[in-house]
Amino acid sequence: MGLFGQGILEALRLLVTGDPEVWQITWLSIRVSATATLLSLLVGIPVGALLALSRFPGRAFVVSLVNTGMGLPPVVVGLFVTILLWRNGALGFLELLYTPTAMVTGQLVIAAPIVTGLTLAAVQQVPEAFRLQLLGLGASRPQMIWVLLKEARLPMLAAVMAGFGGVISEVGASMMLGGNIKGSTRVLTTATVLETGKGNFDVAIALSVILLLITFLVNWALSAIQQRRRG
């Protein structure tokens, strides 16, 4: 049997036997990335909606900044946030480096532009005429934004999926900000790097399979919501 077969068997074995370390790593991955994604929604949806609806000088520049941010390399985010969080760095007094909170911070920086950019695109694709009609019917501005967001909620679910997918799969920022500490900040991606380095390729493949499984389940659930509402 090939290495992949061995790896998939190993994944099943680890999941079925309930290997406590693997469960702990998996649960931390979900917790960190879900938190970062939810926080990025709180930042990204309002900022994206406002950017979509407002007109001001330099708006095009800000929009291209956001779009660039959608492709921020996690390793760059990791490096910059690490330097900020160093004991002797600007935010060192918070003593956050090598904690899950530091990883959430890094992933938030990665996911927020993705959610902002996709929200911006989603709100913008609602026809201008619809917006004017709302205002014409006497809606206040907050009411109008509310209705627009409701209208754009399906594409915005795509923003959630893209944000979550981006952060749960990144390794650079998690490695630097968490330090891949056993029992504390080790997540699926960093554990995969470690096991590969150790030559435990079957375990590494098993961890990758678990990671893919989680990403699939989350996206499957979100897609189900998205498609049901469409129906």
Partner 1 sequence: MSRFFAIVWPLAGALLLGVSGHAETQSNVVILSTTTSTQDSGLLDVLVPMFERKTGLTVKTISVGTGQALALAARGEADVTLAHAPGVERKYVEDGKMSNRRLVMYNDFVLIGPPEDPARIKALPSAVDALKRIAESQSRFVSRGDKSGTHVLEQGLWKQADIEPRGAWYIESGQGMGQTLGIANDRRAYTLTDRGTYLAFAKRVDLPILVEKDRPLLNIYSVMEVNPANGPRVNVAGGKAFAEFMLAPETQAVIKAFGVDRYGQPLFVPVAGKKDEDL
Q: What crossing angle do the helices spanning 20-53 and 201-230 adopt, rounded to 10°?
A: 40
CA dihedral (71, 204, 209, 108) positive or negative: negative
Beta-carbon neighbour count of residue 51 at 10 Å? 19
Per CB under 8 A, the segment of 7-15, 55-63, 64-72, 86-94 that binds partner 1 is 86-94
- Residue 94 DSSP SS3: helix
DSSP class of 70: T
Kindly state whether residue 79 participates in binding partner 1, applying the rule CB under 8 A.
no
Shortest reach from residue 64's CB to partner 1, in Å: 28
Q: Does residue 100 touch partner 1 according to CB under 8 A?
A: yes
Pick between residue 30 and residue 62 the one whose CB is nearest to partner 1. 30
Q: Which phi and psi angles does 187 have, rounded to 5°?
A: -115, 180
Candidates 7-15, 53-61, 118-126, 174-182: pick the segment binding partner 1 (CB under 8 A).
174-182
The reply to whether 39 sits near partner 1 by the rule CB under 8 A is: yes
Q: How far apart are the first and last CA of the chain?
A: 44
Residue 91 makes contact with partner 1 by CB under 8 A: no
95 binds partner 1 (CB under 8 A): yes
- 20 vs 57, beta carbon nearer partner 1: 20
- d(CA 58, CA 78) in angstroms, rounded, equals 29
Could you list the residues that contact partner 1 (CB under 8 A)? 31-32, 34-35, 38-39, 41-42, 86-88, 92, 95-101, 104, 146, 149-150, 153, 179-182, 184, 194, 196-199, 201
